[in-house]
């Protein structure tokens, strides 16, 4: 049976990504998807992007890739954060081309599963939401009518579809009826997580150390 394997925010943690791939024992029929933020924070952004390219995998656009691509287009260094400068120096032409082609979302053929880096405003149709929202969203703005300040969007997402996302690092998978958050803070010393569909199982490997 074909498996969809979704991997959370790698953030330059090449060794941990290799550990996870070894543990997954990929099959020829597997489809491999990444939720974005392949880069920054960890020790080897170029190595991660290169490996993902060589695997023939798809990665969604994360807020870190989006920021660096914006810098690439504008040449404005004020856009960059401190960590970005090293990554910009690391990335090759092939890496930039790969990043420029990253899609914003992915939907399963039957429409039951949607992948995104950050998330969606629950009061609007998900397909209508722009890259700023989808790559950056964590907590709901007042116009989304959250019950209290700093309400995470997943708390109010009713579905369908089921949304699997990254971007919000947590010590464990955030498993809800209609959303699953799989950023488990690898670069912070946590774990790197894969979600396997349709069996709805997880594989995790621990960070070798805390990088940031």
| pLDDT band with cut points at 50, 70 and 90 for residue 64 | very high
Q: Give the model confidence (pLDDT) of 131-165 as tens digits.
A: 999 999 999 999 888 999 899 999 999 999 999 99
Instruction: Evaluate whether residue 180 is within a structural domain.
Output: yes
For range 176-185, the mean pLDDT: 98
| CATH number, domain with residue 101 | 3.60.21.10
- Does residue 76 carry a pLDDT above 90? yes
- Structural domain contains residue 212: no
Is 143 within the bounds of a domain?
yes
pTM of this structure: 0.96
Task: Note whether 84 and 68 are within 8 A (CB).
Answer: yes
Helix (H) or strand (E) holding 191: strand 191-197
Domain count, the chain: 1
- Tell me the mean pLDDT in the region 189-203: 97
User: Is 127 domain-assigned?
Assistant: yes
Range of the domain at 191: 4-206
211 inside domain: no
Radius of gyration of the chain (CA): 16
Neighbours of 184 (CB within 10 A): 23
- On whether residue 34 sits in a domain, the answer given is yes
Residue 29 lies in a domain: yes
Task: Let me know if residue 32 belongs to a domain.
Answer: yes
Q: How do strand 113-116 and strand 174-175 relate by DSSP bridges?
A: unpaired
Q: What is the pLDDT of residue 144?
A: 86
Query: Which ranges constitute the DSSP H helices of the chain?
Result: 14-24, 45-55, 63-74, 84-90, 93-100, 131-136
């Amino acid at each position: 049976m074909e498996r969809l394997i979704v991997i959370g925010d790698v953030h330059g943690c090449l060794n941990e990504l290799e550990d996870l791939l070894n543990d997954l024992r990929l099959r020829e029929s597997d489809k491999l998807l990444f939720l974005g933020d392949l880069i920054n924070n960890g020790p080897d952004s170029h190595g991660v992007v290169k490996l993902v390219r060589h695997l023939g995998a798809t990665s969604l656009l994360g807020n870190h890739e989006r920021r660096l691509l914006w810098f690439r287009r504008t040449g404005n260094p004020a856009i960059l954060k401190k960590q970005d400068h090293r990554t910009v120096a690391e990335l090759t032409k092939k890496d930039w081309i790969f990043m420029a082609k990253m899609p914003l979302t992915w939907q399963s053929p039957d429409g039951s599963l949607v992948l995104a880096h950050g998330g969606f405003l629950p009061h609007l149709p998900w397909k209508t939401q722009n890259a700023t929202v989808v790559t950056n969203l964590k907590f709901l703005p007042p116009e989304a009518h959250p019950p209290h300040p700093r309400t995470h969007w997943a708390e109010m997402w009713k579905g369908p579809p089921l949304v699997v996302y990254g971007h919000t690092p947590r010590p464990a998978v955030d498993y809800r009826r209609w959303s699953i958050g799989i950023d488990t803070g690898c670069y912070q010393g946590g774990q790197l997580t894969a979600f396997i569909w349709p069996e709805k199982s997880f594989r995790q490997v621990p960070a070798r150390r805390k990088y940031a």
